[in-house]
Amino acid sequence: MILPPAILGMLGGGQLGRFFVAAAHEMGYPVWVLDPDPHSPAALIADRHLLAAYEDFAALDELAQGCAAISTEFENVPAGTLDYLDKFVVVRPSAAAVSVCQNRITEKTFLRDQALPHAAFAAVHSEQDLREAAAGLFPGILKVARFGYDGKGQALVANPEQAIAAFQQFKGETCVLEQRLALDYEVSVVLARDESGIVTSFPAAENCHRKGILDVSLVPARASTELRAEAAALAARIAEGLGYIGTLAVEFFVVRGELLINEMAPRPHNSGHYTLDACLTSQYEQQVRALCSLPLGETRAHSAAVMVNLLGDLWYETTPAGHHYREPDWSKLYAFPTLKLHLYGKHHARPGRKMGHFTVLDGDPERARRVAMAARAAIGIVDAP
């Protein structure tokens, strides 16, 4: 075991890294954060900020020399960086596991090879691949293979001609073409797996999106006990197939009552924020535990929860004179006694940028949902989830 006061390292300084730092601090570990952003939210509360690129080998050497173990908060840290650090220090998750999740083609191929349920897809390297794509893939969604998130780098396409036009807009980047599905709803499972293969799963969340960005997560998901158990079992199979150590999230589509795996994230997940307030152990504490070879914590939820994202749009007010930047009136949220507000300390709000979230807790799932929707409207989020 790696015990306090050993120093831990975090690659990436966003809100997921910030919550990792907070969890590690509570457990007695100092944390160094490496991130190229001078205003990174995680670095603001870390014990040290290495302000450097992820491929700055002098900074990586310094991180490896000072830290007993290193993790990451997002999947786009270069796999080569993780592989380099692994030569000198404990790194979890591994470069091999992260690299599968960094590329949609690699990810879909892994799911196919593991005989895991997923939507039909085709790898797209050229316009000719789209001309030759199976007719059953249309209407479809064309997605860039790398660096697409929160709906970015995606286009709905009805036929090969539209797909080719979208491919050109993506400047010929490698893509995947996925069959567009009529979804019942979406769910996600966050789990942790340790080095001995023990897996602990958090309760499945039901997720609603707005403009491609997660808007609301409801826990427990409004699905059958059997479907929630199947989702947890499929997520565990993915973790085993990857040889994964750490916190992992898996997103699912539910189509005609059947689960299809959408994608996985080799890190804590937005839909798992509720674990901070509703579970005995948070997804971030599990990340620390798995990283340090500690026994995994109990993942049971002690209440129902509804998590609502707060995007940068809330910081802008529209008046006849134009758009004005202003801080939202947080008193409207603090008026709800069962609501927990989390703001990430980001330097500047932008439309679509995740600036914070709140979670409403209640013993009754439907009452939690009603209160969360009322709070959501009170702060100015007016369109339906």
Q: Which residues are annotated as a binding site?
A: 104, 143, 148-154, 178-181, 186, 209, 262-263
In terms of pLDDT, which residue wins out, 343 or 383? Answer: 343
Mean pLDDT confidence for 154-170: 93
**Cβ neighbours of residue 294 under 8 Å, at least 6 residues apart?**
1, 288
Given its phi and psi angles, is residue 286 left (phi above 0), alpha (psi -120 to 50 degrees) or beta? alpha
Span between the terminal Cα atoms of the chain, in Å: 44
Predicted local distance difference test score (pLDDT) of residue 148: 65
Pick from 5-9, 29-33, 138-142, 284-288: least confident: 138-142
Question: What residue segments make up the domains of the chain, in order of their start?
Answer: 8-91, 120-179, 185-378
Residue 47 has pLDDT above 90, yes or no: yes
Residue 164 has pLDDT above 90, yes or no: yes
CATH fold, domain 120-179, is Dna Ligase; domain 1 (3.30.1490)
From residue 304, give the alpha-carbon distance in Å to each of 19, 264, 269.
21, 24, 18
Q: How confident is the model at residue 212 (pLDDT cuts 50, 70, 90)?
A: confident
Domain 185-378 sits in CATH 3.30.470.20: yes
Predicted local distance difference test score (pLDDT) of residue 242: 97
Domain 8-91 sits in CATH 3.40.50.20: yes
**Do the Cβ atoms of 250 and 228 come closer than 8 Å?**
no
Q: For residue 112, what are its two tokens? A: 């196919």
In terms of pLDDT, which residue wins out, 75 or 323? Answer: 75
In terms of pLDDT, which residue wins out, 383 or 245? Answer: 245
Residue 34 has pLDDT above 90, yes or no: yes
Mean pLDDT confidence for 316-333: 86
What does the angle CA 142 – CA 236 – CA 275 come to, to the nearest 5 degrees?
85
In terms of pLDDT, which residue wins out, 108 or 317? Answer: 108
Cis peptide bond upstream of 220, omega within 30? yes
The span from the CA of 137 to the CA of 280, in Å, is 43
Burial of 354 (0-12, 13-18, 19+ CB in 10 A): buried
**Cβ neighbours of residue 232 under 8 Å, at least 6 residues apart?**
189, 191, 201, 204
- Of 328, 313, 325, 326, which is closest to residue 375 (Cα–Cα)? 328
**Cβ neighbours of residue 356 under 8 Å, at least 6 residues apart?**
309, 310, 341, 342, 343, 344
Quickly list DSSP for 131-176: HTS-GGG-SEEEEESSS--TTTTEEEESSHHHHHHHHHHTTT--EE
Q: Which residues are annotated as a binding site for ATP?
A: 104, 143, 148-154, 178-181, 186, 209, 262-263
Mean pLDDT confidence for 9-25: 98
Q: In one letter, which amino acid is 171?
A: K
Burial of 193 (0-12, 13-18, 19+ CB in 10 A): buried
pLDDT in tens, 236-288: 999 999 999 999 999 999 999 999 999 999 999 999 999 999 999 999 999 99
Predicted local distance difference test score (pLDDT) of residue 371: 98
The span from the CA of 105 to the CA of 176, in Å, is 6
Residue 5 has pLDDT above 60, yes or no: yes
Average pLDDT, the chain: 95
Residue 40 has pLDDT above 70, yes or no: yes
